[in-house]
Amino acid sequence: MFENKNDPVASQPVFLARIAISVLISLLVIAVSLGVGTLGYHMFGDLTWIDSLLNAAMILTGMGPVDPMKSVAGKLFATFYCLFSGLVFLSLMAIILAPIYHRFLHTFHLAEDED
């Protein structure tokens, strides 16, 4: 997906396309994660759809739950969804920052070769 260290730095349109693809992948992962959370809170937490969506969004963004879970199944789902959300956050940051980090390192490497 990225150029090798001996290749020239990608043009700005190519770089912006890479950023756009990263953002689109991230948005897709967020939508799927929000859907899984909403469905899980509705099924296991016995919440309404809108309350399930709110809880899933709050957990996914790291804000914390809104409604306490009363059932064991709801508590287990909330536990695993919280762990999943933390991993999703870290993964999405890596996906979004990868093209930027690669361009920085590639530019730095080329500048080092010129000296």
Domains, the chain, ordered by start:
27-114 (1.10.287.70)
d(CA 23, CA 45): 31
At 50-82, the pLDDT tens digits run: 999 999 999 999 898 899 999 999 999 999 999
- Asked whether the whole model's pTM tops 0.95, one would answer no
The predicted structure's pLDDT at residue 111: 57
User: What average pLDDT does the chain have?
Assistant: 88
